[in-house]
Amino acid sequence: MASQAEGSSSKKKPITIITIGMAGAGKSTFVQRINSYLHSLDPPKPPYILNLDPAVTHVPYEANIDIRDTVNYQEVMKQYNLGPNGGIMTALNLFTTKFDQVLDLVEKRADDVDYVILDTPGQIEIFTWSASGSIITDAVASSLPTVVAYIIDTPRTTAPATFMSNMLYACSILYKTKLPFVLVFNKTDVQPHDFALDWMTDFEAFQLALATHGGTRDSEGEPTYMNSLMNSMSLVLDEFYKNLKAVGVSSVTGDGVKEFFEAVDASREEYEKDYLPELERARKRKEETLQAAKQDSMNRLLKDLTIDREKNPAFAAQDRWDPDAEDDDDDDDETNIIDRSADPWPGQYVDLTRAQRHPDEDINWPRPG
């Protein structure tokens, strides 16, 4: 996949915002809110939106590309005999096989939009711990400046242990993706996020909250194992907090959305300074390894051919490669990702054909996990 992020052009490339968060944290409502905020600007800056949740029944915004137009998740569950999570993951795997088309559509619109927004499946691990989630994230990030918006349900994060679990999860995503990261404390209309900022900036404030929260001492008044563990982990997290931006947002009232975009715009620089050079290094390493492996295979092939020809000169004389005899089964030209803003939607489409080489083949690919 060609990187275009480093190319120079008069217009800045759009920033991709990948929204990730626990089930019910408010991802879809947040996407709807930032979408309406961008529309309300003068001049308006309508974003390009991708819905990657195949199981959602309703999204409160108009997606440009919707996974549900390509893969019927109910059908995937039936065909592959899967439960709901396996169905979502397999649907995402199937969609990922077409992601080059998605990127093409996004890149075609790169000159007209400033923001590309990805709404991810409700079950966070389906996106963050699956191969398809990584492929999608890497593909997008190698093509456009990208930032992860980690949506947190603030009212449900006021207990120190829950707060820490959520932060550890965020930390794991940050280190996995290595992308610029914005923590979005959502639902501030219900619960202001000051306590969270306090805990993130003042280590002792968190320790105090931990010590005074119920269940942290055993019957003899000693700190519990859990309490000691959380104490140690909060030290680790202290380092992690330095690497990210945090904003409080209410997706219902729109409070904090402006600050969110300031954080996103500031992340562009971070992406260019930290992520891109690392991406280039990784690419170069991969290219060198590939070249070395190719050269090695070629040397071995030539050596085998020489021995073969010496042993069987008659066969060697007939051994000619006929390019016309090659099987031409390259069906990559097939297009079936739909940009709703450009094409009419032809109806529900289930792309399972590529998973089976012939109709009665009894295989279950791609498997979840």
Ligand X SMILES: Nc1nc2c(ncn2[C@@H]2O[C@H](COP(=O)(O)OP(=O)(O)OP(=O)(O)O)[C@@H](O)[C@H]2O)c(=O)[nH]1
Contact stretch for ligand X (CB under 6 A) within 24-32, 44-52, 219-227, 258-266: 24-32
Rounded least distance, CB 37 to ligand X, Å: 13
Rounded least distance, CB 261 to ligand X, Å: 16
Nearer to ligand X, 123 or 364 (CB): 123
Contact stretch for ligand X (CB under 6 A) within 26-34, 265-273, 283-291, 359-367: 26-34
Contact stretch for ligand X (CB under 6 A) within 77-85, 131-139, 171-179, 184-192: 184-192
Binding to ligand X in span 49-68, by CB under 6 A: 53
Q: Pick from 13, 27, 68, 98: which binds ligand X (CB under 6 A)?
A: 27
Residue 21 as a binder of ligand X (CB under 6 A): the answer is: yes
Q: Pick from 70, 142, 177, 186: which binds ligand X (CB under 6 A)?
A: 186
Q: How far apart are the first and last CA of the chain?
A: 24
d(CA 36, CA 31): 9
Amino acid letter, residue 40: S
Binding to ligand X in span 301-360, by CB under 6 A: none
Closest alpha carbon to 91 in 115, 107, 67? 67
Q: Are 271 and 182 in contact (CB under 8 A)?
A: no
Residue 29 as a binder of ligand X (CB under 6 A): the answer is: yes
Rounded least distance, CB 119 to ligand X, Å: 7
Binding to ligand X in span 227-266, by CB under 6 A: 250-252
Residue 93 as a binder of ligand X (CB under 6 A): the answer is: no
Query: How many residues in the shown chain lie near ligand X by CB under 6 A?
Result: 17
Question: Residue 247 forms beta bridges with which residues?
Answer: 184
- Beta-carbon-side half-sphere exposure of residue 83 (alpha carbons within 13 Å): 1
Q: How far, in whole angstroms, is CA 67 from its chain's centroid?
A: 14
CA angle, 167 then 172 then 173, to 5°: 95
DSSP class per residue in 24-82: TSSHHHHHHHHHHHHHHSSS----EEEE--TT-S--SS--SEEGGGT--HHHHHHHTT-
Contacting positions for ligand X (CB under 6 A):
21, 23-29, 53, 122, 186-187, 189-190, 250-252
